[in-house]
Amino acid sequence: MKRLLYTLVFVLITMIAPAQKQHFDLVSYRAPKGWKKVLSSDAVIYSIQEKKKNTWCLIKLLKNTLSKGDIDADFQSEWQVLAATPLSITEPPSTTETAGGGGWKIKSGSAKFRFNNSDAISTVTMMSGFGVCISVLVNTNSQDYVPAITAFIESLEVDEIKQGAAGNTIPPSTTENAPVQSGGFTFTSTNFDDGWTSTVKEDWAEVTKGAIKVLIHYPNKQADAYQSVLKDEDLNAWNVLVAPRYASVSNFEWKSIQSYESISFMEADATEQSGRNVHVVLFKKHYPKGNGRYLEFVTNNKAEYEQAFGPYHSESYGWDSPANMQWRNKFAVSAPDLVGKWGVSDYASLTYYYISTGGTAGTTATSTTNEFTFLTSSTYQSEHNGASGMIGNMKFSSQTYKGTFTTTDWEINMTNRFEGHPEKFSCQFEAVKGGRILVLTDRQGTVFALGKSK
pLDDT tens per residue across span 1-36: 444 444 444 443 333 334 468 888 888 999 999 999
Query: 256 lies in which domain range?
Result: 189-328
371 occurs within a structural domain: yes
- Are residue 250 and residue 220 in the same domain, yes or no? yes
Q: What is the pTM of this model?
A: 0.60
Residues 200 and 323 in one domain: yes
- Indicate which CATH number applies to the domain containing 392: 2.40.128
Tell me: do 131 and 245 sit in the same domain: no
Domain boundary among 300, 328, 356: 328
Note the pLDDT tens digit of each residue in 314-359: 999 999 999 999 999 999 999 999 999 999 887 666 766 666 666 6
CATH number at residue 299: 3.40.1000
In this structure, are 322 and 361 located in the same domain?
no
User: 293-297, 362-366, 396-400: which has the highest mean pLDDT?
Assistant: 293-297
The residue with greater pLDDT, 364 or 426, is: 426
Secondary structure of the chain as H, E, C letters:
CHHHHHHHHCCCCCCCCCCCCEEECCEEECCCCCCEEEECCCEEEEEEEECCCCEEEEEEEECCEECCCCHHHHHHHHHHHHHHHHHCCCCCCEEEEEECHHHCEEEEEEEEEEECCEEEEEEEEEEEECCEEEEEEEEECCHHHHHHHHHHHHHCEECCCCCCCCCCCCCCCCCCCCCECCCCCCCCEEECCCCCEEEEECCEEEEEECCEEEEEECCCCCCCCCCCCHHHHHHHHHHHHHHHHEEEEEEEEECCECCCCCEEEEEEEEEECCCCEEEEEEEEECCCCCCCCCEEEEECCHHHHHHHHCCCCCCCCCCHHHHHHHHHCCECCCHHHHCEEEEEEEEEEEEEECCCCCCEEEEEEEEEEEEEEECCCCEEEEEEEEEEEECCEEEEEEEEEEEEEEECCCEEEECCCHHHCCEEEEEEEEEECCEEEEEEECCCCCEEEEEECC
Mean residue pLDDT of the chain comes to 85
pLDDT tens digit string along 90-135? 888 888 876 555 678 888 999 999 888 888 999 999 888 877 889 9
Which CATH number belongs to the domain containing residue 111 in this structure? 2.60.120.1690
266 and 289 part of one domain: yes
Give how many domains the chain has, as a whole number: 3
324 & 339 share domain:
no
Boundary of a domain, candidates 328, 347, 380:
328
Same domain? 253 vs 301: yes
